[in-house]
Amino acid sequence: MESSETDKQIYVARVERFETDSEGKFMVKVRWYYSPEQAGGRRQFHGAKELLLSDQYATQSANKIEGKCNVHSFLNYTKLENVGARDYYCRFWYEAGTKEITPNKVPVYCICETPYNPDDLMLQCDDCKAWFHPGCVKMTIAQAKQLSSYQCDQCSS
């Protein structure tokens, strides 16, 4: 959606329905997505293309629509072969009034116990199927990319 501010920040909304107002103007009812920064701050596990679906609705002039983007489920986003400039994902919901993010607990991975960030490379152990960040297992990203298989320290001992 077009910003009314001079900062030209991008605002993403889900179109709920199209309607006309009492003057016959074409309007759109939207539900807003928030960036992690708008919802209290970006955390280590928030990917660059992550959005949070909010409980905030608005009716805007249809002229404010700048274009279409795709907000995928987290699972579908992680399966994309090519992530485009207008591809985003959502795995959390944000209640603006209470500033609560749901779910408030997510699965953690690696020995560092952080939620998955699709922007970060991870290795999966061939035996136990656990996931690890290369740096957490004393490996560079370049080394990790060259592996055809991986076995974690616990499984290899």
Domains, the chain, in order of start with CATH, read 1-105 (2.30.30.490)
Average pLDDT over residues 26-33: 95
Q: Which tens digits make up the pLDDT trace of 36-91?
A: 999 988 888 899 999 999 999 999 999 888 889 999 999 899 899 999 999 999 99
SS3 content of the chain, % helix, strand, coil (to 5): 15, 30, 50
Which positions ≥6 away from 47 have C-beta within 8 Å? Answer: 89, 117, 118, 119
DSSP 8-state code for residue 38: G
Q: Which tens digits make up the pLDDT trace of 90-117?
A: 999 999 999 999 987 888 999 999 888 9
Q: How far apart are CA 118 and CA 67, in angstroms?
A: 25
Token pair in block for residue 67:
């274009």
